[in-house]
Structure 1
Amino acid sequence: MTESNETTGLRVLMVDDDSNLLNGYQRALRGRCEVHVALGGEVGLAMLEDEGPFSVVVSDIKMPVMSGIEFLGRVRELHPDTVRMVLTGHADLDVAIEAVNNGDIFRFLTKPCDREHLLAAITAADKQHGMIMASRELAAMRRLKEGFEGTLLAFARLVEFRDPYTAGHMDRVARIAELIAERMGMDPDRVEGLRLAGLVHDVGKIAVPAGILNKPGILSDAEFSLIKAHPLVGEEVFRTLETEWPIARIIVEHHERIDGSGYPHGLTADELLEESKILSVADVIDAVMSHRPYRQKLGGQSAIDVLKEGRGTRFDPAVAAVGIAMLSSGEIEEKVLS
């Protein structure tokens, strides 16, 4: 039997062996929540299976056939997210301890329980249920994120197997970009998306012949054209990726420059994401300070000189300024390159 309510999504199951009490609960809670009642534990379990889940279950203890302790223990096994409460006239300590141990009870109420106390307890139980569900969602999101990041790292490792000179490059660029974005006060969620994009920003190099990636001399125009296509390949790889972050766009824009001199589309400042501007600076910093087939690695001052020279033309002035400051203080070398 159900007493519906149009103003709230809170669904409560009241279980007792006294039909008069159950009718009284429905009257007391009318208009405040959706109340379902069950005459005994076996009926309660059947209702949970047929009409559940419920946010809150409230049960008596002393009931024939199936005791409230047994019933709440079954609810705990079958519906662990449902908040369980006891409302009983048999409130001795041993019963309370057994109920808590077997049913993981949120509240223990005694009869008679006036409407306001019952409603306050159910409201508190609903808040507890909300916190449980939020925790479940957070844990699920964390597992999805960890799996997603693992997939991105697998892509990165594929590229690095073919291009040993860039081993660790994407990891370092992701970390440098993260540090710059944090220093600039970017929203943490956007920082996370930028970091993930950084982990795979060169994944498009998987389509570039290894001989070109590892060539120690100067590249021909044709060879450089293949290199310049890697942001487009990376974008294509992640174009259909369902994510809250614009990872594909950041990848394709990381070699663009604010004056339009970059590639592959020659975009200018107003057309670029802030994340892309940050990643381009981070990419240059690591490129200058890492070993390449055609030269030995250079120091922090060389990276500073590159950023100063390109500040306001190739690189966003604000991003370049932060990169220069962090290089000058040694923070990037200490936290990333050491």
Structure 2
Amino acid sequence: MLMKNNELSILCIDDEEMIRMMISDFLEDSGYTVFTAENGLSGLELLRENHPDLILVDLMMPEMDGLEFLSRAVKESPDTPIIVISGTGAIQDVVEAVRRGAWDYLSKPIQDLVVLEHVVNKALEKALLTRENEAYRKDLEEKVRERTLALEKTLWDTVSALSSMTDKRDPYTSGHQKRVSILAKALGEKMGLSGDTVEGIRIAGLLHDIGKIYVPAEFLAKPARLEYEEMEIMKKHAFMGYDILINIDFPWPVAEIVYQHHERIDGSGYPRNLEDSDILPEAKIIAIVDVFEAMSSHRPYRPSLNPEIALREIVENRGKFYSQDCADAFIELFQENSFDTDEFFK
């Protein structure tokens, strides 16, 4: 049965008055509101004024033919189903109409209105299903967006809490992780890494020393350099950080970056003596900015060093301890900013 719904409207465009009247009377008897036009120009005006749910349009008309109307209508109302009406023997026009966006076609003369009923029903049902699917897709996207935002907030709250825990445990390096995070983000951007990768580096920077919560407080605050045995315990913080973070479902390899941030490309780092190809690019970035920031910040056993002196460590050991590409980009980054670290930490 043809759908009977007073809320649905159909636009019929045909230059033959008898055909317009026949189609209009049939559809109105079925409960539809019908608008009629004798050419494409008038049809476009009615389309803009009334936003019909379906359009029937003849291909051969004066002033603006059906193909021209079809092209314009599809641009203005791409979701509205359009059925073209074609004279017999005009198959090429039908093919062109379908190419331009027609949903279906009817052949003249329309001798059996049951055919019209079937074609209109099919098009309206397809349009309804398309709208429902689109509404479902948008609703799903919105729910995914809301869920993603909620997960991001939860993740960020976790990161902030862990970072704050480290700073409170070790007042002498309070803010160190935040500054490393800022510098690492700037370096990642300087190297042209993707926004997603840079975000992972930023998060890893905020957490790279989380393992220090297991290091004895007297080691962290010792006003002299650590003894060998003490330093060996201190070195465990990279693994402890990994152990803390590995069970958190980050969308980046944060735990592994933290595990590797004291590795050096010549294999002289710790805790696993990894070499160049075994070290994550993100960890190479954290390694450089961690050393630079540590040297240019106050420590219990020494005052802060001038940034240019700290940078010299990177310059002299690029290609040895530190990735050549990362080091070159870091040096260039600071040359561009005249070695003014305050610019990064505003």
Q: Same fold (TM over 0.5)?
A: yes
Residue pairs, 1:35-184, within 5 angstroms? 89=31, 109=53, 114-184=121-191
- How far does the alpha carbon of each residue in 1:177-228 deviate from its partner, in whole angstroms, 9 at most, with x for none? 1111111111222221221111111000000111110111121111111111
2:317 to 310, 315, 322: 310
Map 1:217-236 to 2 at 5 A.
217-236=224-243
TM-score where L is the length of structure 1: 0.66
Percentage of pairs with the same residue? 33
Aligned to 1:9: none
SS at match of 1:314: coil
AA aligned to 1:222 is: E
For 1:108 and 1:149, the matched residues in 2 are separated by 48
In structure 2, C-alpha distance between the alignment counterparts of 1:316 and 1:248, rounded to whole Å: 20
For structure 2, list consecutive stretches of 5 or more residues without a partner in the other structure: 9-29, 34-50, 56-116
Please state how far the C-alpha of 1:61 moved relative to its aligned partner.
Answer: 6.6
Once the two structures are superposed, the pairs formed by residues 167-316 of structure 1 within 5 Å of their partners are 167-316=174-323
Shift of 1:259: 0.5
Q: Say if 1:279 and 1:108 are closer, same or farther in 2 by CA, change over 3 A.
A: farther
Contact 1:201/1:251, CA 8 A, preserved across alignment: yes
The alpha carbon displacement at 1:240 in A equals 1.9
- C-alpha distance in 1, partners of 2:253/2:169? 26
Aligned to 2:68: none
Aligned partner of 1:186: which letter? L
Cα distance between partner residues in 2 of 1:184 and 1:89:
65
* Paired position in structure 2 for 1:79: none
User: 1:114 Cα shift?
Assistant: 4.6
In structure 2, the partner of 1:336 is 344
Whether the 8 Å contact between 1:281 and 1:320 is mirrored in structure 2 is yes
| Aligned-partner Cα distance in 1 for 2:297–2:189 | 23
The answer on whether the counterparts of 1:260 and 1:268 sit within 8 Å (CA) in structure 2 is yes
Which letter maps to 1:260?
G
Report the RMSD for the aligned CA atoms in angstroms. Answer: 2.8
1:302 alignment partner, SS class: helix
Structure 1 segments of 4+ aligned residues over 6 angstroms from their partners: 59-62
Aligned residues: 245
Instruction: Give the drift of 1:151.
Output: 0.7
Using the TM superposition, give the Cα deviation of residue 162 of structure 1 relative to its aligned residue in structure 2, in angstroms. Answer: 1.6
Aligned-partner Cα distance in 1 for 2:130–2:177: 50
| Contact 1:231–1:264 (8 Å) recurs in 2 | yes
* Cα distance in 2 for residues equivalent to 1:204 and 1:323: 26
Whether the 8 Å CA contact 1:89–1:110 is kept in 2: the answer is no
Give, in whole Å, the separation in 2 of the partners of 1:296 and 1:196: 28
Q: Structure 1 unaligned runs (5+)?
A: 1-19, 26-58, 63-87, 92-106
Once the two structures are TM-superposed, the CA of residue 337 in structure 1 deviates from its matched residue by 3.1
Larger Rg: 2
Displacement of 1:125: 4.1
What CA distance in whole angstroms lies between the structure 2 residues aligned with 1:206 and 1:262? 21
TM-score calculated relative to the size of structure 2 = 0.64
Distance in structure 2 (CA, Å) of the matches to 1:323 and 1:295? 24
Query: In structure 1, what residue type is equivalent to 2:142?
Result: S
